[in-house]
Amino acid sequence: MNYQETINYLFTSAPLFQHVGGAAYKEGLYNTHQLDEHFGHPHKQFKTIHVAGTNGKGSCSHTLAAILQASGLKVGLFTSPHLVDFRERIRVNGEMVSEDYVVRFVEEHRDFFEPLHPSFFELTTAMAFKYFAEQEVDVAVVEVGLGGRLDCTNIIMPEVSVITNISFDHVAFLGNTLAKIASEKAGIIKEGIPVVVGELTDETRPVFEEKAQAMNAPIHFAEEEEEIVKYKVNKKGGFNYQTKTYGSFSGALGGFCQLKNTNTILCTVSQLRRRGFHINNIHVRRGFTRVCEMTGLMGRWQRLLNRPRVVCDTGHNVGGFTWIVQQLKQASIILNNVGGTLRIVFGMVNDKDISGVLSMMPKDATYYFCQASVARALPHEEIKKKASEYGLMGDSYPTVEKAYEAALKDAKKKQDFIYVGGSSFVVADLLSSSLICQKN
């Protein structure tokens, strides 16, 4: 098989949550342990950092990887989902795993794993750990796929565990209260291993404290560390930070959610230093400034055009949109002053709280409802109908590309602002489109 044939095989033979949702979810770690034993327990050959949470896992994982790379280490990075290419999930020092490696992995080991019927994520996790071991990485930043306690990444013994935040997502698997979801995420807390918790609520704090106490794990609440002293948006759309411990630096990632993420990351770096990692302030500054360049991160309030300004973001649940809506409202105020229009290209998938998200969205925008190219995508006509119940008006389009093309065509004024999002898959379709190659 060539690479594309191999990827098609993986997508069709192993259930992929990214495409089919809950049908791909396998509870328990039996397959994971079987795969791990088959490959000789590769995760024991390198240090790890484990990152869980409802939102912010990707930004925190990529930035931590960039900081560690800046410190001179060889760094593995395992994240999900991918946006354009499967290989985005598995990187070493920012470089994606080779197509040849993916092909060889499947060809050489399919006789073992096919009788197991592993999920796509179980198989991908095994591939990542094996690849990191063969590449002799010093440390790998490992992002949880779903939950924590029963996630197949949870066989690692990390240097630090990180839980970014807790909000409602995947409630069918993780529970319908914040406390239940927090309990699943807290499952990554290991005996004696420090844990950093990014954001808290009155409902989740006792869950984390109880679990940490039971595991004799030092617990650190990033919100109470308050590393960020001052911040402001810079000309590139990111933030300039002044901090207590790490001096002043610029962060490449935009989006108000990054203020929380940055505090979590800096708190984690402090724990890594205590664990013997040689990370200085220069490494921190370089990692924050060059995170996208060093790790290939995409889709986090990513600016694609300047005139009109086009931004995409992978936020896809109520917790994520709490921050996104704040920025859209701020953009709307600016647009009103200059006579511009806020245009929103929007789609969601069928296992998210669409009512919760739509109820938050600005009513003074022109909408372009769309349907991403995955089976889980909500039909564009259904989204349009549902949005009208919340006073959100616009036309619907069968693809993301057609919706974005219409928004670009309508944006006759250079001061217009186009936001594209609602789902990682909407952003993935956009980034795969030739339309984003237009020049300013």
What is the band of 15 on the pLDDT scale with cuts at 50, 70, 90?
low
Same domain, 291 and 421: no
What does the pLDDT read at residue 170?
Answer: 44
* Poorest-pLDDT segment among 18-22, 173-177, 244-248: 18-22
Residue 122: pLDDT above 60?
yes
The DSSP letter of residue 349 is B
Residue 21: pLDDT above 50?
no
Mean pLDDT of the chain: 90
Q: Which of 201 and 285 is assigned the larger pLDDT?
A: 285
What does the pLDDT read at residue 67?
Answer: 98
Q: Is the dihedral of CA 121, 164, 232, 243 positive or negative?
A: negative
Predicted confidence (pLDDT) per residue in 43-91, tens digit: 999 999 999 998 889 999 999 999 999 999 999 999 998 999 999 999 9
Same domain, 106 and 221: yes
Q: For the residues of 67-92, what is the DSSP string, one character each?
A: HHHHTT--EEEE----SS-GGGGEEE
Compute the chain's Rg from CA coordinates. 21
Residue 167: pLDDT above 60?
yes
End of a domain among 247, 279, 295? 295
Same domain, 28 and 111: yes
Buried b (16+ CB within 10 A) or exposed e, 260-298: bbbbbbbbbbbbbeeeebebeeebbbbbbbbbbebbbbb
CB 249 within 8 A of CB 284: yes
Q: Greatest CA span in the chain, whole angstroms?
A: 64
Place of tokens 């349907």: 371
Same domain, 177 and 212: yes
pTM of the shown model: 0.91
Same domain, 261 and 168: yes
Cα 140 to Cα 125: distance, rounded to the nearest angstrom: 12
Q: Which of 42 and 27 is assigned the larger pLDDT?
A: 42
Same domain, 255 and 343: no
Percent of the chain with pLDDT strictly greater than 70: 93
Cα 185 to Cα 151: distance, rounded to the nearest angstrom: 9
Q: Which residue from 113, 76, 117 is spatially nearest to 97, judged by alpha carbons?
A: 76
What is the band of 26 on the pLDDT scale with cuts at 50, 70, 90?
low
**Residues 6 or more apart whose Cβ sits within 8 Å of residue 393:** 366, 367, 387
* Poorest-pLDDT segment among 25-29, 160-164, 245-249, 384-388: 25-29
**Residues 6 or more apart whose Cβ sits within 8 Å of residue 65:** 75, 77, 91, 94, 141, 294, 295
Tokens, residue 68: 């560690």
Range of the domain at 430: 302-437
Same domain, 254 and 288: yes
Task: Give the containing element (helix H, strand E) for 195.
Answer: strand 195-197
Residue 169: pLDDT above 60?
no
Predicted confidence (pLDDT) per residue in 392-420, tens digit: 999 999 999 999 999 999 997 788 999 99
Cα 428 to Cα 85: distance, rounded to the nearest angstrom: 9
Task: Give the containing element (helix H, strand E) for 160.
Answer: strand 160-163
Sheet with 139-143, strands from edge to edge, namely 95-96, 90-92, 75-78, 139-143, 47-52, 160-163, 195-197, 219-221
Mean pLDDT, residues 18-23: 45
Predicted confidence (pLDDT) per residue in 245-303, tens digit: 999 999 999 888 899 999 999 999 999 999 999 999 999 999 999 999 999 999 989 99
Same domain, 273 and 307: no
Task: Give the containing element (helix H, strand E) for 429.
Answer: helix 424-431
What does the pLDDT read at residue 27?
Answer: 60
Same domain, 171 and 320: no
What does the pLDDT read at residue 288?
Answer: 97
Mean pLDDT, residues 30-47: 96
* Poorest-pLDDT segment among 125-129, 165-169, 435-439: 435-439
How many domains does the structure of the chain reveal? 2
Cα 250 to Cα 189: distance, rounded to the nearest angstrom: 31
End of a domain among 295, 316, 348? 295
Alpha helices in 370-417 (DSSP H): 380-388, 400-410
Predicted confidence (pLDDT) per residue in 302-325, tens digit: 999 988 999 999 987 888 888 899
Task: Give the containing element (helix H, strand E) for 331.
Answer: helix 318-338
What is the band of 237 on the pLDDT scale with cuts at 50, 70, 90?
confident
End of a domain among 253, 275, 295? 295
Q: Which of 366 and 203 is assigned the larger pLDDT?
A: 366
Same domain, 288 and 225: yes
- CATH number of the domain encompassing residue 59: 3.40.1190.10
Same domain, 69 and 134: yes
Predicted confidence (pLDDT) per residue in 356-386, tens digit: 999 999 999 999 999 999 888 999 999 999 9
Q: Cα angle at 36 between 35 and 42, to 5 degrees?
A: 135
What is the band of 172 on the pLDDT scale with cuts at 50, 70, 90?
very low
* Poorest-pLDDT segment among 12-21, 37-46, 99-108: 12-21
Alpha helices in 14-115 (DSSP H): 17-20, 30-38, 57-70, 99-113
Peptide bond into 308 cis (omega under 30): yes
Task: Give the containing element (helix H, strand E) for 249.
Answer: strand 248-251
Same domain, 289 and 306: no
- CATH number of the domain encompassing residue 329: 3.90.190.20
Residue 171: pLDDT above 60?
no
What does the pLDDT read at residue 176?
Answer: 63
What is the band of 184 on the pLDDT scale with cuts at 50, 70, 90?
confident
* Poorest-pLDDT segment among 372-376, 426-430, 435-439: 435-439
Cα 221 to Cα 206: distance, rounded to the nearest angstrom: 12
